[in-house]
Structure 1
Amino acid sequence: MGDRRRRKNLPVLIVGLGRFGVALGEELMAEGREVLAVERNRSLVQKYADRFTYVVEADATDPEALAQVGAADFDIAVVGVGTSIESSVLIAVNLVDLEIDQVWGKAINRAHGKILERIGCEHVVYPEHDAGVRVAHLVSGHLMDFIKFDDDFAIVKMPPPRCMQGMTIEQAHPRDRHGVNVVGVKSPGRDFVYAQPDTLVSSGDTIIVSGDVSNLERFAGED
Structure 2
Amino acid sequence: MPDTRNDPVVVIGLGRFGSSLAAELVRRGTEVLAIDSRPKVVQSMSGRLTHVVAADSTDLEALRQLGVPDFYRAVVAIGTDLESSILTTSLLVELEIEDIWAKAISRDHGRILERVGAHHVILPEHDMGERVAHLLNGRMLDYMEVDANYALVKTRPPRDYTGVPLGETNLRRKYGVTVVCVKGEHEEFTYAGSDTVLGYGDVIIIAGKIEDVERFAELP
**TM-score, normalised relative to structure 2:** 0.91
Residues 104-113 or 10-19, more deviating: 104-113
Shift of the alpha carbon at 1:189?
Answer: 2.9
| Residue of structure 2 equivalent to 1:98 | 95
| Residue of structure 2 equivalent to 1:63 | 60
Residues 150-159 or 180-189, more deviating: 150-159
Q: For the residues of structure 1 that align with 2:27 and 2:196, how far apart are their CA atoms?
A: 34
Q: For the residues of structure 2 that align with 1:67 and 1:139, how far apart are their CA atoms?
A: 47
Shift of the alpha carbon at 1:50?
Answer: 2.6
Residue in structure 1 matching 2:8, options 6, 11, 32: 11
Structure 2 residues not aligned, in runs of 5+: none
1:176 equivalent in alignment to 2:173: yes
| Residue of structure 1 equivalent to 2:33 | 36
Q: Please state whether the residue corresponding to 1:147 is helix, strand or coil.
A: strand
- Once the two structures are superposed, residues 89-125 of structure 1 have per-residue CA deviations (whole angstroms, 9 ceiling, x without a partner) of 1211221111111111111122222221222111222
Shift of the alpha carbon at 1:63?
Answer: 1.5
| Residue of structure 1 equivalent to 2:73 | 76
- Once the two structures are superposed, residues 163-215 of structure 1 have per-residue CA deviations (whole angstroms, 9 ceiling, x without a partner) of 22333322433213322100111223332111111122222321110112122
1:199 equivalent in alignment to 2:199: no
Q: Please state whether the residue corresponding to 1:83 is helix, strand or coil.
A: coil
Q: Please state whether the residue corresponding to 2:4 is helix, strand or coil.
A: helix
Residue in structure 2 matching 1:186, options 183, 187, 201: 183
Is residue 34–residue 52 contact of structure 1 (8 Å, CA) maintained in 2? no
Q: Please state whether the residue corresponding to 1:155 is helix, strand or coil.
A: strand
Identity %: 47
Distance verdict in 2 for CA 1:163–1:53, change over 3 Å: farther
Is residue 138–residue 218 contact of structure 2 (8 Å, CA) maintained in 1? no
| Residue of structure 2 equivalent to 1:88 | 85
**Paired positions, count:** 220
Q: For the residues of structure 2 that align with 1:101 and 1:195, how far apart are their CA atoms?
A: 38
Distance verdict in 2 for CA 1:168–1:28, change over 3 Å: farther
Is residue 163–residue 172 contact of structure 1 (8 Å, CA) maintained in 2? no
Q: For the residues of structure 2 that align with 1:188 and 1:28, how far apart are their CA atoms?
A: 34
1:54 equivalent in alignment to 2:51: yes
Q: For the residues of structure 2 that align with 1:163 and 1:17, how far apart are their CA atoms?
A: 50
Q: For the residues of structure 2 that align with 1:32 and 1:172, how far apart are their CA atoms?
A: 46
Is residue 72–residue 99 contact of structure 1 (8 Å, CA) maintained in 2? yes
Shift of the alpha carbon at 1:83?
Answer: 0.5
Aligned-residue Cα RMSD (Å) equals: 1.8
Is residue 60–residue 91 contact of structure 2 (8 Å, CA) maintained in 1? yes
| Residue of structure 2 equivalent to 1:156 | 153
| Residue of structure 2 equivalent to 1:114 | 111
Q: For the residues of structure 2 that align with 1:30 and 1:164, how far apart are their CA atoms?
A: 43
